[in-house]
Amino acid sequence: MIVWRWKSINRIDLEDCPIAIAQKIIGGKWALRILYHLSTGMLRFGELNRQMPEITQATLTKELRRLESFQLINRKVYPEVPPRVEYSLNEMGLKLLPVLKELEIWGYEYKKIH
Amino acid sequence: MIVWRWKSINRIDLEDCPIAIAQKIIGGKWALRILYHLSTGMLRFGELNRQMPEITQATLTKELRRLESFQLINRKVYPEVPPRVEYSLNEMGLKLLPVLKELEIWGYEYKKIH
DNA sequence: CGGAATCCTAGCGGATACTG
DNA sequence: CAGTATCCGCTAGGATTCCG
């Protein structure tokens, strides 16, 4: 664990805690799931939705937009009819792969025990 | 990425997705932060609170109880006056260390760029 | 097909006060 | 010191409908 620097006595600057930032970005109900599904490669909106039937279209759209605004995924729109939109991890998103991998291992372990 | 088995056509059983489970447990606003601080070793309630001044006592208590119920941390109470309670990662919590480590690395990377 | 626009609600998390 | 006990506002996320 890396101890971050202190900006003032007895007060941790939130911006200095890497976990706080990570939690803010990937802490939502769906963020990790979405990134996980995208980890195998590009997916269209509908494909993503089919792999996560419990999420609603509206929520999925919002979450994808959020992840895009945080620069974790790419959104490519094809000007066709019917429309096609493809989502994929970009550089910052790809850097999350080690996290997803470890989390996946942990998840399996947890299930095995409980 | 490990592809989980399907229980029925076109329907993913939530229980089979390791990330979904992980997200449910460590997806709260404070879970990862708490586990992160505990990763260096046992901490008393007050110490933990001092390292996260932004969280309120009530919320911290709730989160600690939640993490305890999910079997990630130990809670040891000393029958003293004034009372002393020590929190530490247990086996399942320790297994999250690789995740926290990778997440920490990612968090620093993210800050560096943005 | 992949949204946008609305509306709505559960429950997370905060503030405050009190206590063994 | 490390909690409970209330009370409560906010907003993430869901349901539904409409659209290019």
The per-residue pLDDT of chain B, averaged, comes to 86
* Confidence band of B28 (pLDDT split at 50, 70, 90): confident
The predicted structure's pLDDT at residue B95: 97
Q: Is the pLDDT of residue B12 over 60?
A: no
A56 CB contact with strand D at below 7 Å: yes
| Nearest nucleotide (CA of A30 to C1') | D13
The predicted structure's pLDDT at residue A72: 96
Sheet containing strand A84-89, strands side by side: A43-44, A84-89, A73-78
Per-residue pLDDT of chain A (114 residues; tens, 9 = 90+): 333 333 222 233 445 689 999 999 998 899 999 999 999 999 999 999 999 999 999 999 999 999 999 999 999 999 999 999 999 999 999 999 999 999 999 999 999 998
Q: How many CA atoms lie within 13 A of B51 on its CB side?
A: 20
Q: Which of residues 12-71 of B touch strand C (CB under 7 A)?
A: 28-30, 54-59, 62-63
Instruction: Name A78's bridge partners.
Output: A84
Q: Is the pLDDT of residue B1 over 50?
A: no
